[in-house]
């Protein structure tokens, strides 16, 4: 078995509502509009039963530029389903911590596949539904991040922090 270096993408992918004027994380404009419409107008808000965790080179509330295999060899998003090997991140009480102070975090490590080339300029991450619609996004601490070839990018447990504040 080949040993891969793990690149810890920690120092937290903070996917929370901006605090004190911070504009480096939050929910997408699309999700915010749907939530407000559901709360105030009685519109139906359908929550995803499965989602993906993606890495990007640029993120804002209104746009997300996902990494591509052409520029980031070996990149593949994480599909959070009960059967995804080695990464339990689907919506579940065993995969996400009980919310406290409006925040939750991943209970398990989220492991991306090993890179097959050097990645530079990894800026942010997003939680999307399976159609690619962004729900939450955030810049990586220390971004932009470079990932050496042969490394396995990883978010350790409790480093994807998502919530409302």
Which two structure tokens, joined as six digits, stand for 55? Answer: 């890495």
Q: Roughly how many angstroms between the first and final C-alpha of the chain, as a whole number?
A: 44
- Cα–Cα distance between 140 and 91 in angstroms, integer? 22
Cα dihedral value 124, 162, 158, 139, nearest 10: 20
Give 6's pLDDT tier (boundaries 50, 70, 90): very low
Q: What is the pLDDT of residues 103-162, one digit of tens each?
A: 889 898 888 888 899 999 999 989 998 899 999 888 888 888 888 898 888 888 888 888
Which two structure tokens, joined as six digits, stand for 156? Answer: 């350790």
Give 14's pLDDT tier (boundaries 50, 70, 90): very low
Residue range 54-61: mean pLDDT, rounded = 89
Give 85's pLDDT tier (boundaries 50, 70, 90): low
Q: What is the DSSP string of 103-155?
A: EEEBSS-EEPPPPSS-EEEE-EEEEEETT--EEEEEEBTT-SEEE-TTEEEEE
User: Reduced to 3 states, what is the DSSP secondary structure of residue 97?
Assistant: coil
Q: Count of domains in the chain? A: 1
Cα dihedral value 136, 142, 143, 148, nearest 10: -110
Predicted local distance difference test score (pLDDT) of residue 18:
31
Q: Which domain holds residue 157?
A: 5-163
Nearest to 162 by CA among 82, 95, 71, 86: 95
- Cα–Cα distance between 71 and 82 in angstroms, integer? 29
Predicted local distance difference test score (pLDDT) of residue 57:
93
The pTM assigned to this predicted structure is 0.82
């Amino acid at each position: 078995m080949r040993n891969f270096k793990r690149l810890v993408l920690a120092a937290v992918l903070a996917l929370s509502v901006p605090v004190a004027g911070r504009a480096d994380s939050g929910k997408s404009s699309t999700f915010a509009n749907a939530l407000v419409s559901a709360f105030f107008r009685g519109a139906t808000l359908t929550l995803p039963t499965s989602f993906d965790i993606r890495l990007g080179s640029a993120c804002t509330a209104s746009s997300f530029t996902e990494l591509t295999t052409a520029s980031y060899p070996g990149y593949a998003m994480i599909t959070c389903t009960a059967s995804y090997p080695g990464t339990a991140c689907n919506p579940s009480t065993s995969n996400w911590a009980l919310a406290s102070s409006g925040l939750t975090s991943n209970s398990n490590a989220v492991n991306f596949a090993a890179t097959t080339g050097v990645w530079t300029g990894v800026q942010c991450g997003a939680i999307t539904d399976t159609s690619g619609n962004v729900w939450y996004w955030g810049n990586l601490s220390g971004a932009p991040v470079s990932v050496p070839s042969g490394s396995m990018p990883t978010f350790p447990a409790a480093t994807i922090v998502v919530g409302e504040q």
